[in-house]
Amino acid sequence: MAPPGSRRWACVRVMAGTILGGALGFYVMHRLETSHKAKMEERLRRYEARMSMAAKGKEEEEAQQRLQDEAAPQHKDQARLLPDS
């Protein structure tokens, strides 16, 4: 049987380990979450920039197409039917 003093120290070590382990776990998870959040915000910023550039490019293409359509002469269909042979 273990002496009574060693049982008390065993309890103290278990409690101290639990508290310190919880604090360390909390710190590690906090660091992981903040780094992950920063990465996701950066990805979102790049995605939004890419989408705005794509929308801007699409608008420019549509504007150029309208200018080309307005500048091009309007041709009516000049197709004629051939006489029956």
DSSP codes joined into one string, 35-85: HHHHHHHHHHHHHHHHHHHHHHHHHHHHHHHHHHHHHS--PPP---PPPP-
pLDDT per position as a tens digit, 11-65: 999 999 999 999 999 999 999 999 999 999 999 999 999 999 888 888 888 888 8
Domain boundaries, the chain: 32-65
Per-residue pLDDT at 41: 97
> CA 59, CA 19: separation in Å to the nearest integer?
59
Look at the pTM and tell me if it is higher than 0.75: no
Residue 78 binned pLDDT confidence (cut-offs 50, 70, 90): low
